Structure 1
């Protein structure tokens, strides 16, 4: 559903993606939300932690709107050399699920306040973006943030499927063909057979 107001549509799309990411944690143990299930260590809680920092960065720091609440892993002032590589993509034993989820929700509030306070053509500075010294309008940054969140929602969907077979965008909206376990096994076998013929 779209409205006549692009800001409302953009905010709705971002919120929908945010909620999809958090839904992937539901019903899992502390171990499972932290388990790395890819060779690069992708895990559900790390994706949430990363997205909290990304929201604070793109919809805060880029527009010179700094968050009053300290977030230990969010230090754009240090630059990449000041942080351990990938430190925002996994949770330490001391960082609880509740803490990371609460931090993500706090980042939403901060980001939403930025979007509410500025016109869509407000210009921020994204130094690592090429062209015009990294100048970027809020509209463009919001589109980027939606794409970033959806990208990681897709990662979360795959990680969750690897954990317990759960799939979908949200409860009741799996967006997949209806099929039982046998149907999906046959589907997978057909895909594998086609790959072997190449």
Structure 2
């Protein structure tokens, strides 16, 4: 029987989420990587910028290990949501490289500290802002997976591309006709359910 390695498990799930998020940028034009596709402006490159910033905070600053990366979009006085989109002069390469540096810094923190090491989150309320490294890593995994899910939907809206990750799309079929039929069946089921619950006058 092998001994469980909690750090290895956490790193595996964290890296899997990181890879899934970045994969959603592949093959897109600058416009499609950046354009807002929801009423609240959700866009692919902005999701990567946000998650990179979040990793540098939770797995760096919180444990007294600042990265030294300038993050003006999080500075006092920055406009709201500035970390959720890339300006025209913030290239895709800049954002992706920032994310890679954030990975390296976060991974170094995980390696250097015990999972029960404690840190303080300055942007959480006093009295509830201490957490262990273990909880911080779980938090970052949950956040990254959440935003990878957003990226799944946004990428599908851009060009129809869908799937879990390179080499394992985890999709039921690769036949467009199958999906058209499937979507039609879901639409009919939704309409039937609505009809069955609509009060008759």
For the criterion TM > 0.5, the same-fold answer is: yes
Q: TM-score, normalised by structure 2?
A: 0.90
Task: Report matched runs for 1:1-198 at 5 Å.
Answer: 4-75=4-75, 78=76, 82-129=77-124, 132-197=127-192, 198=194
Counterpart of 2:198? none
Q: In the alignment, is the contact (CA less than 8 A) between 1:125 and 1:133 conserved in 2?
A: no
Equivalences, count = 192
Which structure 2 segments of 5+ residues have no match?
195-201
Q: Structure 1 residue 113: deviation in Å?
A: 1.1
Per the TM alignment, residue 180 of structure 1 is displaced from its structure 2 partner at its CA by 1.0
Residues 63, 123 of structure 1: 8 Å contact kept: yes
Separation in 2, partners of 1:165, 1:3: 43
- Judge conservation of contact 2:74–2:82 (CA < 8 Å) in 1: no
Aligned residues of 1:13 and 1:146 also touching (Cα < 8 A)? yes
Q: Kindly indicate whether the alpha-carbon contact (under 8 Å) linking 1:37 and 1:159 is maintained by their aligned counterparts in 2.
A: yes
> C-alpha distance in 2, partners of 1:3/1:178?
38
Alpha-carbon deviations, 1:123-179, whole Å to 9, x = none? 011245468431100001100100100111111011111111111111231112124
Q: Which runs of 4+ in 1 moved over 3 A?
A: 127-133
User: Secondary structure of 2:86's match?
Assistant: coil
* TM-score (ref. length: structure 1): 0.91
